[in-house]
Amino acid sequence: MIHLKTPGEIDTIARAGAILAALYAELPDQLRPGRSTAELDEFAESFIRDYDGAEPAFKGLYGFPATLCISLNYEVVHGIPSPARRLAVGDIVSVDCGVKRNGFFADAAVTLPVGEIGEDVQRLLDITQRALEAGIAEARPGKRLGDIGAAIQAEAEGAGYGIVRDLVGHGIGRQPHEDPQVPNYGQRGKGELLRSGMVLAIEPMLNAGTARVRTLPDRWTVVTADRSVSAHFEHTVAITAAGPRILTQAYQGAVMTAGGVA
Domains and CATH numbers, the chain: 7-261 (3.90.230.10)
Taking Cα atoms as reference points, which of 118, 27, 15, 109 lies closest to residue 69?
A: 109
How many Cα neighbours within 13 Å face the side chain of 19?
Answer: 34
Distance between CA atoms of residues 153 and 156, nearest Å: 5
Instruction: Measure Cα distances from 162 to 23, 153, 244 in Å.
Output: 29, 9, 26
State CA 2 to chain mean position distance: 20
Summarised one tens digit per residue, pLDDT across range 49-90 is 999 999 999 999 999 999 999 999 999 999 999 999 999 999
Taking Cα atoms as reference points, which of 27, 17, 13, 8 lies closest to residue 248?
A: 17
Taking Cα atoms as reference points, which of 115, 135, 136, 117 lies closest to residue 125?
A: 117
Which pLDDT score is estimated for 199? 98
DSSP state, residue 104: E
Summarised one tens digit per residue, pLDDT across range 103-142 is 999 999 999 999 999 999 999 999 999 999 999 999 999 9
Segment 210-217 shows an average pLDDT of 98
**Local confidence band at 250 (pLDDT 50, 70, 90 cut-offs):** confident
State CA 259 to chain mean position distance: 24
